Amino acid sequence: MRLPAISYRAAALGVLCLSAWAGAQAQGLRAGGAPGVSAPALSRALEQTQAPDVGLQAGRGGLRSADYIVAVVNSEPITNNEVRERMARVQESLSREGAQRPAQAALAREVLERLILEKAQVQYAKEVGIKVDDYAVDQGLEAVARNNSISREQLARELKKEGISESLFREELRRQITLQRLREREVDNRVKVSDHDIDRYQLEQRSKAGDAAAAALNLGHILVVVPEGATEAQLAQYKARAEEAAQAARSGSFEAAAKQYSDIKDNAVMGLRPAERYPELFVQAVRSAQVGAVVGPVRSSAGFHVLKVIDKSMSGVPMVVTQNHARHILLRPSAQLGEREAAAQLAELRNRVLQGSANFEALARQYSQDGSAPQGGDLGWAGPGRYVPEFEQVLERLQPGEISPPVVSRFGVHLIQLVERREAALSPREQREMLRDVVRAQKTEKDYETWLQELRGRTYVEYREPPQ
C-alpha cells in the first residue's frame, strides 16, 4: 500500500488517503489563485497538502539538493527544499483531480505563502499556550490506522517503507492538531449565526435555483486506482474492475460494492456539501443524474471513479437524515489532570458500566463536567453536522447501547454512548437548524481567512532568495 501525503479532502478528490482523520481533527462538540489553474482546484490542492510535511518525496530521493533559506518567519527559516516538497504534493493532487498545473514560478509563490502562514500559526499557538498531549497524538495514529483498515503495527511498517520514522510522523500529527485547536480557539468558537443570516442565505439559494452548480451534493464514491505507467492491458483490467463495481452498485448495496471494490477503504459516502467542494469531474458526471443513480466509471488521472447520487439539495440540507440519540461523560484536563489521566479515569468508568456495576446516566451525573450532567449526559437527538467530525465519526461507528473508548476533543475527554439511531424526516424547524450549520460553516471559512490575513500582517517576514 502506497501512503500518500495526509489529505484534508483526499476522499473528495479521489485519492488514496493516509488519513481521513486529518480532516476530522476539529474535535469536540460544535459550539486568489495562480494563473493556469482554477482557483477552487488550487485551493483544494493547497488545503490537501498543508497536512504533515512528512517528506515523502524527499524520502524517495527525488528532491534533495543543496538547500538554502528562502524566507525567515519571525526568527524561523523556510528552506527551498520545504517549498519543493510541498509543490510536488500540490502538483500530484492537481494531477489526480485532472486540473491544469499552474506555472512553476506562480505555484512556488503560492506554496511559499502557505508555508509562511503555517509557520506563523504554529508560533502563535506556542505564544497562547496551546499544547497537545501525547494521548491525543496516540488517538490520531489509531485513527490513521483504522481509516486505512490496518493495525498500528502495519502502519509503522508502511511508514518505514516510505522512509518516514514514526517519531517524525507523530510530530507532524501534533502540529496539525495544534493548528486545528488554534483555529477553534481564535475563530470557530466566536462565529455567530443570526436568523437574518439564514434568511439571507435562503434568498441567495432561491436566486440560484436555475444554476445546477449551486446545488449541494452527497455522493457515494468508489475508486479503482490506476498506477502510473500502467500498460494498456493493465488499464483494461482496472476498467473492467470499475465496471464490475458499477454493476454491483446498481444491482445491490452501494456500501457493499465500495467495501469490495474501492481502493478507498473509508468515506464511501462523502456527505452533503456544496458542489464547488467536489472535483469538477464529479459535478459534471452527475449533473443530469437523479437521486439514487449510479454513474460511471469516470476516468481521471487517479483511476476510475463510480459515483452514486445519494442526495441533491438546492437548500443545502437533506429532507431525511440519520439521527443519533447519544449521551456522554466529559472530563476537562487541567494542570492536575492530563488527557491521558482523564482517559484512564473514563476507561475505568466504562469498565464499570460494561461489568454491570454502574449505570452510565448515574456516572454522568456524578462525574461529567458538562452542562448535560444533570440530564445524565443526555445530548438528545442530533443529525449530521451537529457535532464536529472527531466526535461524530466515533458516534457513527457505535451500535445502539455501545460505549466508545475515551475520545479527545477540544473540550476535554469524553465517553460516548449511543442510545438509539433512526431515520427521520426533518421538520421545518430542524431544516432551519441544519441551514444554521451550513451558514456557520461558510462564515467560519470567511472569518478564518480574515484572521489569517490579520495574523500575516502582524508577522515579520524576510524574503531571501526565491524558491526554485
Residue 86 lies in a domain: yes
- Would you state the cell numbers that stand for residue 455, as one nine-digit string? 495574523
- Would you state the cell numbers that stand for residue 233, as one nine-digit string? 492491458
273-274/76-79 β-pairing: unpaired
| DSSP H or E segment with residue 122 | helix 104-127
Residue 414 shares a structural domain with residue 282? no
Residue 129 shares a structural domain with residue 233? no
Q: Could you read off the pLDDT of 281-310 as tens digits, one per residue? A: 888 888 888 888 999 899 987 889 999 988
Residue 21 shares a structural domain with residue 146? yes
Q: Provide the pLDDT for residue 314.
A: 65
Using 50, 70 and 90 to split pLDDT, how confident is the model at 65? Answer: low
Total structural domains in the chain?
3
Residue 458, SS3?
A: helix
Using 50, 70 and 90 to split pLDDT, how confident is the model at 55? Answer: very low
Which of these three, 392, 408, 425, is where a domain ends? 425
Using 50, 70 and 90 to split pLDDT, how confident is the model at 208? Answer: low
Residue 305 shares a structural domain with residue 341? no
Residue 20 shares a structural domain with residue 141? yes
State which residues form the domain around 141: 10-191
Residue 453 lies in a domain: no
Per the model's pLDDT, the better-predicted residue between 429 and 208 turns out to be 429
Highest mean pLDDT among 154-168, 337-351, 375-389: 337-351
Q: What CATH number should be reported for the domain holding residue 50?
A: 1.10.4030.10
Name residue, grid cell 526554485.
468
**How much is the mean pLDDT over the chain?**
80
Mean pLDDT, to the nearest integer, of 62-84?
Answer: 84
Contact assessment for residue 294 and residue 249, using Cβ atoms and an 8 Å cutoff: yes
Mean pLDDT, to the nearest integer, of 362-380?
Answer: 94
Residue 448 lies in a domain: no
388 to each of 26, 178, 384, how far by Cα in Å? Answer: 6, 16, 9
**39-48 vs 80-97: helix crossing angle, rounded to 10:** 120
Percent of the chain clearing pLDDT 90 (strictly above): 34
Name residue, grid cell 506556542.
126
Using 50, 70 and 90 to split pLDDT, how confident is the model at 449? Answer: very high
| DSSP H or E segment with residue 73 | strand 69-73
For residue 326, pLDDT beyond 90:
yes
Question: Comparing C-alpha atoms, which of 352, 365, 414, 364 is closest to residue 388?
Answer: 414
Residue 332 shares a structural domain with residue 269? no
Contact assessment for residue 272 and residue 215, using Cβ atoms and an 8 Å cutoff: no
Calpha distance 175→115 (Å, rounded): 13
Which of these three, 281, 313, 345, is where a domain ends? 313
Q: What CATH number should be reported for the domain holding residue 252?
A: 3.10.50.40
- Would you state the cell numbers that stand for residue 47, as one nine-digit string? 488545503
Residue 46 shares a structural domain with residue 179? yes
Residue 327 shares a structural domain with residue 394? yes
Residue 232 shares a structural domain with residue 287? yes
**What residue type is assigned to position 41 of the chain?**
A
Residue 253 shares a structural domain with residue 136? no
Residue 463 lies in a domain: no
Residue 460 lies in a domain: no
Which of these three, 290, 313, 336, is where a domain ends? 313
Residue 94 shares a structural domain with residue 109? yes
For residue 29, pLDDT beyond 60:
no
Residue 375 lies in a domain: yes
Calpha distance 264→80 (Å, rounded): 33
Residue 39, SS3?
A: helix
Q: Provide the pLDDT for residue 268.
A: 76
Percent of the chain clearing pLDDT 70 (strictly above): 81
Residue 425, SS3?
A: strand
Residue 384 lies in a domain: yes
Residue 183 shares a structural domain with residue 327? no
Residue 301 lies in a domain: yes
For residue 249, pLDDT beyond 60:
yes
